[in-house]
Structure 1
Amino acid sequence: MSRERPGLYGSDRSPDEQRRALRAGEVPVAVYGLGKMGLPLAAVYARATGNVTGVDISEDVVRGVNDGECHVAKEPGLPELVAEQTERGALRATTDSVDAAEGAAIHVIIVPTPLTDDREPDLAAFEAVLDSIARGLAPGDLVVVECTVPPGTSTDLVVPYLADRSGLSAGEFGVAFCPERTSSGRALRDITESHPKIVGGVDAESTRVAALVYGEITANEVIPVGDATTAEAVKLFEGVYRDVNIALANELARLRDDLGIDVTEAIDAANTQPYCDIHAPGPGVGGHCIPWYPYFITSRVDAETPLLLTAREVNDSMPAFTADKLRDELAAAGREIRGATVAVLGVTYRPGVAETRATPAAGVIDRLNDLGATVLAVDPMLPDEVVASFGATPVSLADLPTRALDAAVVVTPHEEFDGIDWAAFDDLVVVDGRGTLGDIGHRVYEIGGGPRSGASETESELEAEVAVEADSAHGGPGR
């Protein structure tokens, strides 16, 4: 390429000079993807460097950012930061990814990488970004991948892909993987201070430049690892650790009635030992990350991975187990689930987040419908049409007390549910999937904890007997 930009890769300037140039806005940055993780990242980059172009395929998103607006809800500090950075000219947005690439010396990719129906990583959006970057790539540029990809992607895909389409040779530009370690609702804090930043390049110079850049982004430690593939694995290992750990908690929770103990109490007590960190059980695992990460690994290895796949099976079975537990609790109270009106509280996969990807609520609703219940669903984060798409009748929180409910299932404990007047309901049977209710004056069964109110020890023994009979009749919980 004939164009020259002050790239940092292979620069003969001192590290201090490179940092000053970065902070002064002399090293233009393009961030590809302005979603719930990309917009916070672009805003933080803008604050640190003063020269960021955000790229997104949505004209509405781009228009909003350029007007100083923030489309990502419930992200503390982000609306103010976006407005501040656009007003001072440090952040702008475009749908023209090629134009953005031509003007940038640092390219940051943070686009979705979902799975196909065959549980293979879908890199179509990722490769579309690579196409655009290749058309604007210049010697000295650094390409940073933040979105989750299978191990080996940076080395085996990104470098040859860019080299082939840009006309540059590998070694004229840098590539590093720097995993996003951010949770919704705390993105700015996570990006800038909560966790160390992991960086790993396809070569030593890529790692050096990535570490230098992120040293200006985060107040936390920057940890260089051996190579880009190692950094890619770090991100996945974090997710599969949580998936396997949650599966352990869920399997222990399923033993509650056989053991006759409060499993959550036992877990909490066990965790006082510093070498034990069992997570909390629940009605399933949702979101954009944890349910998918095992397949990013299994899709790229020949070795058997029975632990990862078994953990997925356990966690995938929990929504049906939760619905079946409600069936058993109703049976123990002398009532049938068929024809019962059941409210599912929470359809998003996490409290306070308007996201439904892989939400356990979907499986709970499906199973309740299969059991013949009339299913209502309440979620203050979602419009009615989204709630209805899961097969439940949407009901507002205000309207809930007017419904003649027989039972309820807490799937996602939004803070808005704290104000529910449980006394407004008569003779309710409740399954608490997250252990947030306590004694509400109704018969409550907590996943892992067992009966919380409305049942004596004698009744609890009767419940266990009825549950065994019901399990035998229905093929066992979760099956």
Structure 2
Amino acid sequence: MISEEYIRLYGIDSDQEEQRIALTSGRVPVAVYGLGKMGLPLAAVYAELTGNVTGVDIDSSVVDRINAGVSPVTGEPGLDDLIASLTAEGSLEAVDTPTVAAATAAVHVVIVPTTLTRDKHPDLTALEAAVESIGAGLSPGDQVIIESTVPPGTCGGFVKPLLERVSGLSPDQFGVAFCPERTSSGRALEDIRGAYPKVVGGVDDESTRVARLIYDELSNNDVITVSDATTAESVKVFEGLYRDVNIALANELAQIRDDLEIDVVEAIMVANTQPFCDIHLPGAGVGGHCIPYYPYFVFDRVKTSMPLCQTARETNDSMPQFLVSKLVERLAAHETAIEDATVVVLGLTYRPGVAEVRASPAIPLVETLQHLGARVFVVDPILDKATAPFPLTALEEVPVDDLDGAVLVTNHDEFATIDWTSYDSLVCIDGRDALPDSSAKHDVYVVGRGSK
């Protein structure tokens, strides 16, 4: 680590260029709290820039692997080599005690998960724990940046007051800003380094200035400053709301395909050749830790009803049931009752190639099939059997002779090589428009397209 005198950025009487040089030379110690799928790549990019980053994670096994030069995050091109290099040169180290990092850091970056409670209210437990730890070591001139997606108003109404209370500092002695994480699994380093413009907004003008200074150096793309932290928080959740509503439109159109007797996907794609139309494509449902959660972050903070966004959530949540209904309908046409059927579900993760099952539409789909009495085999080649929510079966172990139906929920690359000609006649429900031509011998129903 850099041994020269450390400096701080917020409210300090020094010019921008001096602060920029201090940041990039490692004289501004940075702590990144949360070393998960997005947090570790973020810490790595900060370490590339400053050479002086402490990563914080309460999981000691994660910390041990990072300090050994091994990335616990998989599926991110370039991250393995980058972690090995950064830890070897001392630019990045990890600790499992947040207060240790907070005591020395001048910039604190929080990227811990925000989940939902059982009754779908935002759960800020992880954020609260991180902020309390930061508050215990907060010094005058420190800057706190929240990258965790949070309900609008969190930085000003929750983070700032909590830091004041725990640290004992007055509100003008430290900065708080929000910078939305605009990153996708599988391309995290590329996204963080500047695939999209960065957005920053602070609880005061000085917080915004410091955040802009930092991200101007971190990103090779533009940095957009907005009016305040609440606006920046809203930018992030509005992006998710847009996608949720748009996907819901596509999924609702897919559900009327049989009434219209057309290929809805074809109609959508041709409609999108008009520049004012940009309809997404239908599918098996919306999963992951982002889009299904963000509407509730807004619902929780507003008094005005939001029937459009509420309906979009309900529509997207209904897609697993829609797939099941099509399977039951097609099986019945072949004189097979669902309670007598053996079905294989292909894909349990919410996205192909990403080992994440949070809010995956495959979960309620499997549960519904089991509730209806079907014998269900679940296949997912990228999931660890020990952590999967259902018992997993290797594809070659699925009883071919007894199989009546197949539902493709997640189009992993590994499924592209399935030889469908080797199976007896099946009812196949394709939730991703991804079954190959070799499936043509079967009764195939594609969401949005109909019979294949």
TM-score (norm 2): 0.97
Q: Using the alignment, how far apart are the partners of 2:156 and 2:124 within structure 1?
A: 15
Q: Using the alignment, how far apart are the partners of 1:401 and 1:43 within structure 2?
A: 45
Q: Is the 8 A contact 1:401 1:424 kept in 2?
A: no
How many Å apart are 1:32 and its aligned residue? 0.3
Find the counterpart in structure 2 of residue 356 from structure 1. Answer: 357
Find the counterpart in structure 1 of residue 66 from structure 2. Answer: 65
Find the counterpart in structure 2 of residue 460 from structure 1. Answer: none
Q: Using the alignment, how far apart are the partners of 1:62 and 1:26 within structure 2?
A: 23
Q: Using the alignment, how far apart are the partners of 2:94 and 2:288 within structure 1?
A: 27
Alignment deviations for residues 105-143 of structure 1 (CA, whole Å, 9 cap, x no partner): 000000011111121111111111111111111111100
Q: Is the 8 A contact 2:201 2:228 kept in 1?
A: yes
Find the counterpart in structure 2 of residue 130 from structure 1. Answer: 131
Find the counterpart in structure 1 of residue 425 from structure 2. Answer: 427
Which residue identity does 1:12 align to in structure 2? D
Q: Is the 8 A contact 2:175 2:206 kept in 1?
A: yes
What is the DSSP-based 3-state SS (H/G/I as helix, E as strand, rest coil) of the residue aligned with 2:338? coil
Alignment deviations for residues 226-282 of structure 1 (CA, whole Å, 9 cap, x no partner): 100000000000001111111111100000000000001001111111111111111
What is the DSSP-based 3-state SS (H/G/I as helix, E as strand, rest coil) of the residue aligned with 1:238? helix
Q: Is the 8 A contact 2:350 2:362 kept in 1?
A: yes
Find the counterpart in structure 2 of residue 293 from structure 1. Answer: 294
**Aligned pairs (5 A) from 1:332-411:** 332-387=333-388, 389-390=389-390, 393-400=391-398, 402=400, 404-411=402-409
Which residue identity does 1:449 align to in structure 2? R
Q: Is the 8 A contact 1:401 1:425 kept in 2?
A: no
Which residue identity does 1:254 align to in structure 2? Q
Alignment deviations for residues 183-224 of structure 1 (CA, whole Å, 9 cap, x no partner): 111111111121110000011111111011011111111110
Which residue identity does 2:427 align to in structure 1? V
**Aligned pairs (5 A) from 1:106-255:** 106-255=107-256
Alignment deviations for residues 1-42 of structure 1 (CA, whole Å, 9 cap, x no partner): xxx951111122221111111110000000000011100000
Over 3 Å counting, the alpha-carbon distance change for 1:42 and 1:33 in structure 2 is same
Which residue identity does 2:309 align to in structure 1? L
Alignment deviations for residues 437-462 of structure 1 (CA, whole Å, 9 cap, x no partner): 1432322110011011xxxxxxxxxx
Q: Where does the alignment leave 5 or more consecutive residues of structure 2 unmatched?
A: none
Q: Using the alignment, how far apart are the partners of 1:423 and 1:157 within structure 2?
A: 58
Q: Using the alignment, how far apart are the partners of 2:57 and 2:194 within structure 1?
A: 26
**Aligned pairs (5 A) from 1:260-339:** 260-339=261-340
Q: Using the alignment, how far apart are the partners of 1:51 and 1:247 within structure 2?
A: 44
Q: Is the 8 A contact 2:400 2:424 kept in 1?
A: no
Q: Using the alignment, how far apart are the partners of 1:394 and 1:109 within structure 2?
A: 35
Find the counterpart in structure 2 of residue 414 from structure 1. Answer: 412
Q: Using the alignment, how far apart are the partners of 1:161 and 1:93 within structure 2?
A: 25
How many Å apart are 1:403 and its aligned residue? 5.5
Q: Is the 8 A contact 2:37 2:185 kept in 1?
A: yes
Identity over aligned residues, as a percent? 60
TM-score (norm 1): 0.91
Q: Using the alignment, how far apart are the partners of 1:154 and 1:366 within structure 2?
A: 38
What is the DSSP-based 3-state SS (H/G/I as helix, E as strand, rest coil) of the residue aligned with 2:396? coil
How many Å apart are 1:429 and its aligned residue? 1.2
Over 3 Å counting, the alpha-carbon distance change for 1:342 and 1:108 in structure 2 is same
Q: Is the 8 A contact 2:111 2:147 kept in 1?
A: yes
How many Å apart are 1:394 and its aligned residue? 2.2
What is the DSSP-based 3-state SS (H/G/I as helix, E as strand, rest coil) of the residue aligned with 1:315? helix
Q: Where does the alignment leave 5 or more consecutive residues of structure 1 unmatched?
A: 453-479
Q: Is the 8 A contact 2:377 2:398 kept in 1?
A: no
Q: Using the alignment, how far apart are the partners of 1:334 and 1:219 within structure 2?
A: 60
Paired positions, count: 446
Q: Using the alignment, how far apart are the partners of 1:145 and 1:220 within structure 2?
A: 20
Alignment deviations for residues 390-432 of structure 1 (CA, whole Å, 9 cap, x no partner): 3xx5211333474531110000010011111111101011000
Alignment deviations for residues 59-108 of structure 1 (CA, whole Å, 9 cap, x no partner): 10000000010011111111111111101100000011111001100000
Which residue identity does 1:197 align to in structure 2? K
Moved more, 394-403 or 337-346: 394-403
What is the DSSP-based 3-state SS (H/G/I as helix, E as strand, rest coil) of the residue aligned with 2:74? coil
